[in-house]
Structure 1
Amino acid sequence: MKSKKFKQLIMLVVAFAVVIGAFSPMSNAKAANDPINVNAKAAILIEASSGKVLYSKNADERLPVASMAKMMTEYLLLEAIHEGKVKWDQTYTPDDYVYEISQDRSLSNVPLRKDGSYTVKELYQATAIYSANAAAIALSEVVAGSEKNFVEQMNKKAKELGMKNFKFVNATGLANKDLHGKQPVGSADEENEVSARDMAILADHLIKDYPEILDTASVAKTKFRKGTDDEMDMPNWNFMLKGLVQEYKGVDGLKTGSTDSAGSCFTATAERNGMRVISVVLNAKGNIHTGRFDQTKKMLDYAFKNFTMKELYAKGDQVKGNETVKVDQGKDQEVAIVTEKAFSIPVKNGEEKNYKAKVTLDKKELSAPVKKGEKVGTLTAAYTGDQKDYGYVGSDVSGVKLVTKENDEKANWFVLTMRSIGGFFAGIWNSIVETVTGWF
C-alpha cells in the first residue's frame, strides 16, 4: 500500500514539474528565440525588398546545398545574356564530358545526343525547371569556355554579391564524386557549400537583378524538345508550385536540392499582399522528398500570418534629428538630406510602435561642391520589442539611401574669407566672455 501511495506521489510531483516547466521563463524564452522551430540543420526567412530577416537558425554555417548551387549558374547565364555575351538562340553541341553525364539517369538529367544541337534557352529551361545536371554543365561551358573557368566566376560573383560563407566547386551542385572522375575543381570528396544566409542573398539578387527567372522557375511542368524524337516530360521538383501536390498560394520559385550529404534543401520565394519573402532550409528533417516543403510551409505561414508591409517614410521625407548634414566650404553650410525612395519594412502585427528609425551617415561632413542626389547615408529601422531581432541579410540590400536634396556649390573666396574673419573674431569674443565670467 505504501509503495502504491509513494508511486502516486512521484507521478504527482513529475506532473507538477512538467506543468511548471511549460510556463517557466526558460521555456518562454526558448519559444521567443525560436518562434517557428524549423526542423532543419539551418534555415533563414527574409522579406525581399528590405532584406529584413524574420527568422534565422544556424544561418551562417557553410553547408552542402546540392542543386541549389544552380541558382548561381542561372545568375551568371542571365548576366551574360543581359550583357550580350550569350544569346538565347545560340546553339551548343555536347562534348564527351557533358554527353557522359547526360546519360547518367541516376542523376536528374535530360539525355543529350553527342551530335545534337541545343539552344541556350533549351538548356536553361532544363536546368531551372528539371534541375538537369548535364544541361547546367553545358551552360557553364557556353558562358566561360569550361566548367573550371565558370567555377572561378561563381566564386568571384559570390564575393561581389556580398556572400561570405561559400565554396563553389562545380556548376551543378552534385558531389564531385558523382561527376565520373571529371570534377572541374577540388577533390572527389568536395561539393558546393553555402550558408543559408548566403543562399538568401543569392536568391534576393537573382530575383531583383533578373526577375525573369521567376517566369521559368514557376513552370510546374513542361516538355524538353517538344515535338521531336527526344521529347520528354520535365516536371518541376518544387512541389509547392500551383497545381502540384504541396501547392502553396504565392510560391513562384525558386530551387530545390538534395544529395546524401546535403539532405533535403529548398530555397523558396512567395508573394502575397504586396510582400515577397525568401526562405531557405538546409538539410530539412523528415521525408527526403517532402521534408523541405513541410519546413518551408512553417516559415511562409509565419511570415504571412504575422507580418505586414508598412511604409515608414515616403520618398523625399526627412528623418527627425537627421534633417541636414554640414558642408565644408559650401555656399550653404548645410544641405538637407531626404530618403531616395519610400522606406517600407515588414512590421509584426500589433507592434508598430516598436520599430524606430536608424540612420547611419557615411560622413558627418561633406566637401563642396555637392550634387543633388548624392548618397550621404542609409536609413534602416531597429526593432525595440521583446521578440528577437534578427537584423538584415546585408548592408547592400537593407534600408534605403539618404541623399542630398539639392546642389550646394563651393563658396567663392570672398565668402570663405569673411567666414574666416568672422570665425576669428567670434573666437576672440568667446575667449573674452569666458575670462570675464571666470572673474565672477
Structure 2
Amino acid sequence: MNNKWKKLVSSYLVLVLLIGLVTTSVGNRVHAAEQFDLNAKSAILIDAETGKILYASEPDLTLPPASMTKMMSEYLVLDAIKNKKVKWDDQVQITDYVFSISQNKELSNVPLRKDAQYTVKELYEAMAIYSANGATIALAEHIASSETNFVKMMNDKGQELGLKNFKFVNSTGLNNSDLNGNHPKGTGADEENMMSARATATLAYNLINQYPEVLETASVPTKTFREGTSDAIKMLNWNWMLSDIPGYLQQYAYEGLDGLKTGSTDLAGYCFTATAERNGMRLISVVMGTDSITKRFEETKKLLDYGFQNFEHKDIFPAGYETKGNKTLSVQKGKEKTVQISSEEPLTITINRGDEKNYAPIVKFDKSLLNDENALTAPIEQGQKVGYLTYEYKGEDEYGYITEDIAQKVNVPIVTESSVNKANWFVLTMRGIGGFFADIWASVSGAIKGLFS
C-alpha cells in the first residue's frame, strides 16, 4: 500500500472513530435513563428546587406508602409549631390507645408509659428518626385531639398541596388492622394509606421547601430516646444511605444524602423517599414496591446517580433577553411611539446537559394592559411588567413538573426597559391631524389606482 493510500485509510479510520465517539456521547446524554433497569413498581425523580421531573416510571400508580406517610404527619407538626398551636416543649399525655401501640415490638416503636409525659420534640424525633408509630399517634392526638381529626387534616392538606391519587386513613402508614380496633372513624378495619410516587414526591417537595429544618432531624443517624432513664432506647435511623450512618451500614451511604423517609409493610413492600444535595443541586427520589430492605437503597442510588450525572440548573434565557418579533411594544399617547421590552431576570430551569437547543422562548403578554391594537397607553414606568417569558420544549422525554401549579410558575417577568411620558395635547392634536390627512391620502391614492387597474 503506497503512502497516499495509507494516509487516505488513516484519515477514514480517524473520521469513523470521531463519528462513533460523538454518537456515543449524544446517546449517553439523551438516553441515559435507558441505561438502568429500575426494580420498583413505581418511581420518580425530581429537582427539589424547580419541581421538574427528571425521570418517572408508573408515577401515578397508587400504592401503599407505608411509613412514608409520616412525612405528612411531620409536615402538620411543623405547621402547628410555625402557627404557634403547639410548642416543642409542650408535654404530651399518653392515652391507653397510644400505650398499647407503643408496646408492640413487632412494629417500629419506642416504649411509652401512661404515667409519664413526653415533649413534642421527643416524640417528633422518635417519629422522624426511628419511625416510631406510638409516638406518631401521640402527636396526632395532641395536635388534633384525636387521630380521626388528624387524618382529616392530612387529607385536607394533601388537597391544598396539590396531591393527586392519594388517601390517608391513619397517621402512621400502618395497616388499620394493626391498630387494635382503634382505627380512625370513617376508615375500614383493613384499610391502608394509598399514594402515588408523584403524590409522595409532591409532599416531599413541599415539606423540604416550606420546612427545610425537617432535614436537621431526618439526617440524624442515631439518637438515644429518653437517655438516662430506664426507658432509654437507642434509635438507629432506618435510612441507611445517610453519609454518617454507623458500622456495616456504611456500604449504603450516599454522599450528600440527608433524608427523608423509609417505609415498609407486607402490602407496600419496601419504599423510600430520599433527598440529596450535590454542587448546589438538590434532588428528591421516590421508589415504591421494591422487594427487600436493601433493594430500595440500591434503586435509589441508581436514580440519584442518573440525576446528578445528567442534569444541571441552566439559565436558558439570560436577564435582558429580547425575543425575536417581541423586542418592542407600541405605545399610544406617549412621547415615544414604542418602548423596548425584555426579561427582568434569567429564566433558570433544570435541563439535560447540552440540551439547550431544544428550548424555544415563548412570550405571553398581559392582555389587560393592551388595547385593541395590542399597544400600551402612556404614561409607562421603567420596569413595568407587561407579561412573562416562558419556554416550549421541542425535544423528547419531557416529563414536565410534579403539579400543574408549579408548571405555571416557570416564567420570568417581561418588563419595559425605559419610561414613556404622556405626550402633551399639542403633539397629540398634530398626530390626530396627521392621521386624518394620512387616511384621506390613502383613500384618494387607492381610488386613483382603481381608475388605472
Report if TM-score (shorter chain) is over 0.5: yes
Q: Secondary structure of the residue that 2:369 maps to in structure 1? A: strand
Question: Who is 1:251 aligned against?
Answer: 257
Question: Who is 1:231 aligned against?
Answer: 232
CA deviation after TM superposition for structure 1 residue 401, in Å = 3.6
| Pick aligned residue for 2:403 from 394, 398, 408 | 394
Task: Confirm whether residue 279 of structure 1 aligns to residue 285 of structure 2.
Answer: yes
CA deviation after TM superposition for structure 1 residue 242, in Å = 1.0
> Structure 1: how far apart are the matches of 2:179 and 2:314?
48
Q: Secondary structure of the residue that 1:396 maps to in structure 2? A: helix
What TM-score do the two structures reach when normalised by structure 2?
0.78
Q: Per the alignment, do residues 405 and 110 of structure 1 end up closer, same or farther by CA in structure 2, a change over 3 Å counting?
A: farther
Question: Who is 2:24 aligned against?
Answer: none
CA deviation after TM superposition for structure 1 residue 433, in Å = 7.0
CA deviation after TM superposition for structure 1 residue 321, in Å = 4.8
Q: Secondary structure of the residue that 1:261 maps to in structure 2? A: coil
Q: Per the alignment, do residues 373 and 43 of structure 1 end up closer, same or farther by CA in structure 2, a change over 3 Å counting?
A: farther
> Structure 1: how far apart are the matches of 2:382 and 2:142?
43
Q: Secondary structure of the residue that 1:72 maps to in structure 2? A: helix
Q: Per the alignment, do residues 391 and 421 of structure 1 end up closer, same or farther by CA in structure 2, a change over 3 Å counting?
A: same
> Structure 2: how far apart are the matches of 1:438 and 1:171?
82
Q: Which amino acid aligns with 1:352?
A: E
| Pick aligned residue for 1:353 from 357, 378, 384 | 357
Question: Who is 1:130 aligned against?
Answer: 130
CA deviation after TM superposition for structure 1 residue 72, in Å = 1.0
Question: Who is 1:240 aligned against?
Answer: 241
> Structure 2: how far apart are the matches of 1:174 and 1:409?
64
Deviation digits for residues 369-397 of structure 1, max 9, x if unmatched? 99998876654444433x41112222433
8 Å CA contact retained: 1:32, 1:388? no
Question: Who is 1:384 aligned against?
Answer: 394
Q: Per the alignment, do residues 343 and 227 of structure 1 end up closer, same or farther by CA in structure 2, a change over 3 Å counting?
A: farther
CA deviation after TM superposition for structure 1 residue 148, in Å = 1.5
Unaligned runs of 5+ in 1: 1-27
Q: Per the alignment, do residues 233 and 347 of structure 1 end up closer, same or farther by CA in structure 2, a change over 3 Å counting?
A: same
Residues paired across the two proteins, number: 408
Q: Secondary structure of the residue that 1:256 maps to in structure 2? A: strand
Q: Secondary structure of the residue that 1:37 maps to in structure 2? A: coil
| Pick aligned residue for 1:432 from 438, 443, 447 | 443
Q: Which amino acid aligns with 2:216?
A: D
Q: Which amino acid aligns with 1:353?
A: K
RMSD of equivalent CA atoms:
3.6
Question: Who is 1:79 aligned against?
Answer: 79
> Structure 2: how far apart are the matches of 1:165 and 1:32?
29
Question: Who is 2:169 aligned against?
Answer: 169
Q: Secondary structure of the residue that 2:298 maps to in structure 1? A: helix
Question: Who is 2:41 aligned against?
Answer: 41
Question: Who is 1:113 aligned against?
Answer: 113
Q: Per the alignment, do residues 194 and 315 of structure 1 end up closer, same or farther by CA in structure 2, a change over 3 Å counting?
A: farther
Task: Confirm whether residue 268 of structure 1 aligns to residue 274 of structure 2.
Answer: yes
> Structure 1: how far apart are the matches of 2:168 and 2:332?
47
Task: Confirm whether residue 296 of structure 1 aligns to residue 300 of structure 2.
Answer: yes
CA deviation after TM superposition for structure 1 residue 36, in Å = 3.2
Q: Per the alignment, do residues 121 and 384 of structure 1 end up closer, same or farther by CA in structure 2, a change over 3 Å counting?
A: same
Q: Which amino acid aligns with 2:298?
A: D
Q: Secondary structure of the residue that 1:344 maps to in structure 2? A: strand
What TM-score do the two structures reach when normalised by structure 1?
0.80
Q: Which amino acid aligns with 2:138?
A: A
Aligned-residue identity in percent: 51
Deviation digits for residues 403-431 of structure 1, max 9, x if unmatched? 6458999989979x979968995995598
Deviation digits for residues 337-384 of structure 1, max 9, x if unmatched? 66565432233233332333344x374342789999887665444443
> Structure 1: how far apart are the matches of 2:269 and 2:430?
69
Question: Who is 2:221 aligned against?
Answer: 220
Listed as ranges, the matches of 1:300-315 within 5 Å are: 300-314=304-318
8 Å CA contact retained: 1:340, 1:400? no
Q: Which amino acid aligns with 2:402?
A: V
Moved more, 155-164 or 204-213: 155-164
Deviation digits for residues 295-319 of structure 1, max 9, x if unmatched? 1111111111122222224456555
